[in-house]
Structure formats: structure tokens, C-alpha cells
Amino acid sequence: MLKDFEYLSIRYKDEKLEILDQRRLPDIEEWMESKTPEDMITYIKQLSVRGAPLIGVAASVALFVYVRDHPDADRKTIVEVSDQLRNARPTAVNLMNNIDTMIQLSQPDQDKRDYSAEKMAELAYSIVEAEVEMCRRMSEFGAELVQQGEGILTHCNTGGVATPGMGTALGVIRAAHRAGKQIHVYVDETRPLLQGGRLTTYELEREQIPYTLICDNMAATLMAAGKIQRVLVGADRIARNGDFANKIGTYSVAVLAKYHNIPFHGVAPWSTVDPACPSGKHIPIEQRAPQEVQGASGAFGSVRWAPKDSQTFNPAFDVTPNSLITSLILDTGVYDCQSFEKYVEQIKGNLS
């Protein structure tokens, strides 16, 4: 029914959906089975599954698994389950777009929507294949911008752990490295959850790409010293005007890059674009638990360094305004924000 597939962070084999527990990396590679929608929702919320493209893919396959295992489920129940998956995280629009594809919102006649296991398997696999191909194309587009010997700063994790396939910003880095451009990557640790320190370094080590891990507050010093020639980051939702939400701290990096005249690029597939969202002011920002700021946890265990009742501010994302963006690298090409907005309007016009 659903074809087997396997990528760095997600696989479907022998009718089992499994995800790599990102909380345990880099020291422990542990796969967890997702048998129910509730399993996948828990994995997404606890960040065992993270990265906007991967979240969308994982939820889509989880919805197929539910339909496969509940052949008598009626349309209403399937839609209710899809809504639960859709709401697992509020910012990553890939999740919403892919679930909408699974429940076939583009089909105006509800009675003709096909929620059979065979149809859901077809849709889920097409989503996986599309995300892999989009990663490949944006990686190639972005690698053409990278010059020989550049120092590249990246924030959070945007590779094969966060997507099926090459990755987004880290996919560009991979493609540039494979092209022999002798780049060096500077990796923000990315507080509070250390996705750069734990995950991006894990991926760079696997491919033997030269890198240096830094604390988030060291980027300005490196820029001033001329060590960084380009910034590549991912995105969880891109508004119609080119503003985009990404892991908290991205906005700070964009401000620093602007001051030091360093090109700053957001890299994402078309599934991350939200044409219905006019600007970054309209992007919902997820607020997370105070414990993530009060200490740290991972394969090494947990530690708390602040009083347990200390007041915290812990948004998962911030918004980078289009005025700070050199270009957006999509699977359809490279756009400054003015041309991006025109492109989105053109696509909307073609769909209407």
C-alpha cells in the first residue's frame, strides 16, 4: 500500500512508521514507533520530531497509518483526527499545508473526497517525494550563490534531521561542500534547546564538512573579524511579503548581518510559504515551557541552573522582516522580497 522509505530521521518499513528521537542526539540514535496519531502528536510537541518539513511529512504519514488501521472510520472521524494532527504545533505551516492535502481540501465536493487507505497512502507518499525533491532543488539553487572558501553562519538545524532528503539551509551547505567550494561552517548552538550544538554538528560530522561550533552571542565578533561571508537559515512560515518565522535568535542574526553587510538568506520549500498570511505580524508564535530556559536537557541528562519558579519568556520562534533579507531560496528559484511577493501573487492568481 504505502511504499517503504527511509531517510535520516524518518522511515516507513514493514508497515511501521518510525522516527529518530532528536532529543537523544548526538550521542544516542534511538528510533521510536508511531502507532497512533496521539503518538505522533506527543513526538511533535516534545520535539522528538522537529523541523517544519519533517513535521508535515511525519503527520501526513501518521494520518495514513490511522486510516489503514481503522478501515471503518467515517469521514467525520478522519477529519477530526486530521485536525488534531494539524494543531500539534502552531507556527510550522508545512504541517497545515500537508494535512490539508491529505484531507483533500482542494476538492470542493466533499462527497468525492477519497479517504480510503489506498488514496491516503498515495497522498502521503507524494508528500514525502515532493519534500525530498524540493530539498534537492533549493539546495542546488542556493549552492550557486556560495563562493569558494566562504565562511557560512547557520542557526538551528535545517538538514536531514529536520527534513526528508538534503535539508534546507543545511542542504545548500551540503551541495556547496560536494561541489568542492571549501567552505567552513559556523554553527550557532541555538539556545534554549541547542539544535545547532546537538543536531547540526551531528550532521556536519557525518559528512565531514569543516565546522566550528559557537555560542549564539559570538556571531557578531566573528562577523567583525571577517570570518563570515554568508548567512543561511531555514524558515517555518514565510508570509506573503517575505517576512518569515524561524527559530528564536534568527532575527538577531539578521540584524547583525545587515550591519556587517553580509548576505542573509532564508531557505525553505514552497510548502513553507503561507500566501494567506500578509506579513510576519500575522504569524502565530508558539510559547514553550519555562523549563527549557531554566536549564538544559538532552542525551547527557537534565540540569536546572535557575530557580524553579523563575519567570521566563520562551517563544520558540521570532520573525525576520523582509528589509533584512537578501534573498529567499526556494525550490522554485532565488527571490528578493519584492520579486517573491510578485511570485506569490502570480501563483495565487493561477490557482484562483
69 is catalytic: no
Inter-residue contact 30 to 24 (CB < 8 Å): yes
* CB 213 within 8 Å of CB 180: no
Answer yes or no: are the C-beta atoms of 168 and 268 closer than 8 Å. Answer: yes
Active-site hit among 21, 188, 236, 331: 236
* DSSP string over 67-112: HHH-TT--HHHHHHHHHHHHTS-SS-HHHHHHHHHHTTTT-S-GGG
First to last CA, the chain: 33
Peptide bond between residue 275 and the one before it cis (omega within 30 degrees of 0) = no
Alpha carbons 328 and 184: distance in angstroms, whole number: 21
Q: What is the three-class DSSP state of 310?
A: coil
- Looking at the chain, how many residues does it have? 352
Active site residues: 236
